[in-house]
Structure 1
Amino acid sequence: MSNGYQVLTFESAESLLQSSLSWDKVCLLLDIRLPTLSGLELYAHLASTGVNCPVIFMTAHDDLQWMERAEEAGAVAFLRKPFGEQSLLSAITLACSRKKGTDAPPG
């Protein structure tokens, strides 16, 4: 648990896709640049399979095209590294409030 949230990490997009994760109470924090699939490609793939969960994208690179694509994908937030803990927690709280049936953790 971290700040009241259960946190799971995956070493790659493929390991996330192969997991038996229950998508009903998930908020994804995805880096734009992943080794094989980009975070945007991974999220598009998930959406094409019916997964509908809030997503926060992060990157160390300023790229207007990526920001626009993230917005089109329905991103809750687009965080530029380095970002502060409060920026991340605010984005997660917003994501949880957008997820039907999911409450933000007590805090």
Structure 2
Amino acid sequence: MTAPMISIVDDDQSVRDGLVDLLTSMGFDVKAFEVAEHFLRSSRVDCTSCLITDVRMPGMNGLELHDRLLASGKRIPTIVITAFPTDAERARALEAGVAGYLTKPFDDNELVACIHTLSVTSPPANRRPS
């Protein structure tokens, strides 16, 4: 059985590294991207079980990335993270169907609990691992 794939999109190198270390230690197949466009051009889009993305990034932001995926028919459970939360942004994210909205710095257990609520325990049946 293949480990569930989690993709991370965040422009902060330390956040990417920390999340990769945490989630890899839990047995997930993790790949991090600096910008949304790199993720969208990757082979990981079609096999990602969960996407964790920052809200504020250069170029396409995390909510725009989520919207772009939905518009292309890709329903990847998405957790958005932000260091600059606003009530309006949180409401927009949840209305758009994100699975979680976490404020940096968040507790590792909070992120793990959010991932587990998504039942990310196996690769999606309709996607092939790369």
TM-score, normalising length: structure 2: 0.70
User: For this pair of structures, how many residues does the alignment match?
Assistant: 101
Kindly state the Cα deviation for residue 21 of structure 1 after the two structures are TM-superposed: 1.5
Q: Which position in structure 1 is the counterpart of 2:92?
A: 69
1:79 aligns with 2:102: yes
Equivalent in 91, 95, 101 of residue 118 of structure 2: 95
In angstroms, what is the RMSD of aligned CA positions? 2.0
Q: Cα–Cα, structure 1 residues 25 and 41, in superposed 2: closer, same or farther, change >3 Å?
A: closer
Q: Which position in structure 2 is the counterpart of 1:9?
A: 32
TM-score, normalising length: structure 1: 0.84
Instruction: Work out the percentage of aligned pairs sharing the same amino acid.
Output: 36
| Unaligned segments of structure 1, at least 5 residues | 103-107
Check conservation: 1:54, 1:76, Cα contact below 8 A: yes
Name the structure with the higher strand share: 2
Q: Which position in structure 2 is the counterpart of 1:58?
A: 81
Task: Give every structure 1 segment of 4 or more consecutive aligned residues whose post-TM-superposition deviation is greater than 2 Å.
Answer: 22-25, 99-102
Structure 1 counterpart SS, 2:52: strand
Structure 1 counterpart SS, 2:110: helix
